[in-house]
């Protein structure tokens, strides 16, 4: 009986350490205040305005690249409400369209909607970073699953935006996206 108790206690300790790491020391633990002192300041109305070229990769649950893409984006703003139209061209030959509606709120808060987003995403712009959290429904071809997303965009000194997103299902990492976004010169 002592052996079983020791195994259960050991398993509980390992589980507690894993949960603590995910909660306090991993990507998902990062908060907008972590970016508050970093510059330059990410101004969505400026940096997500006009034509933008995005290039990126999607990693599967094993950490291997499962897809690459190039996306043409176009941002437009009317006061504190903006749209970001995205056309993704994947290396598989498929194309995907998404149109975000972004509503800026007082204090840097952001409300975000898109046709494949379940409910309303929420976010915060602070310093050089923008964080969005939302739930996205995959296409039927991709299984139609609803995934939880933490999306970080960080403005670099040269104006490039680095984007990293993690997708989870039941708290388990199932995919990660890494991309760059650059304004298209006039």
pLDDT tens, position by position, 154-184: 999 899 999 999 999 998 899 999 999 999 9
Burial pattern 31-63, b for ≥16 Cβ within 10 A else e, equals: ebeebeeeeeebebbebbbeebebebebbeeee
Average the pLDDT over each of 28-32, 49-53, 66-70, 106-110 and give the range with the smallest value. Answer: 28-32
Q: Is 10 helix (H, G, I), strand (E, B) or coil?
A: helix
Q: Are 84 and 104 in contact (CB under 8 A)?
A: no
The tokens of 91 are what?
């290396």
Question: How would you write 12-45 as a 3-class SS string?
Answer: HHHHHHHHHHHHHCCHHHCCHHHHCCCCCCCCHH
Q: Is 90 helix (H, G, I), strand (E, B) or coil?
A: strand
Mean pLDDT for all residues in the chain: 88
d(CA 119, CA 124): 17
Q: For the chain, first and last CA: distance in Å?
A: 74
Whole-angstrom distance, CA of residue 174 vs CA of residue 142: 12
pLDDT in tens, 72-126: 999 999 999 999 999 999 999 999 999 999 999 998 899 999 999 999 999 999 8
* pLDDT value at residue 115: 95
Closest CA to 174 of 136, 129, 131: 136
């Amino acid at each position: 009986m002592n052996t079983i108790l020791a195994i259960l206690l050991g398993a509980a300790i390992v589980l507690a350490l894993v949960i603590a790491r995910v909660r306090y020391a991993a990507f998902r633990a990062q908060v907008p205040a972590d970016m508050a002192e970093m510059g330059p300041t990410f101004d969505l109305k400026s940096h997500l305005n006009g034509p933008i070229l995005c290039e990126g990769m999607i990693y599967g649950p094993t950490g291997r690249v499962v897809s690459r893409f190039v996306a043409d984006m176009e941002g437009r703003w009317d006061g504190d409400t903006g749209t970001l139209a995205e056309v993704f061209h994947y290396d598989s030959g498929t194309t995907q369209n998404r149109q975000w509606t972004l509503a800026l709120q007082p204090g840097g808060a952001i409300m975000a909607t898109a046709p494949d987003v379940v409910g309303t995403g929420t976010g915060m712009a602070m310093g050089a970073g923008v964080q969005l959290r939302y739930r996205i429904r995959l296409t039927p071809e991709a299984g139609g699953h609803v995934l939880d997303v933490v999306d970080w965009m960080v403005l670099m000194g040269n104006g490039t935006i680095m984007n990293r997103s993690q997708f989870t299902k039941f708290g388990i990492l199932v995919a990660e996206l890494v991309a760059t976004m650059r304004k298209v010169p006039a």
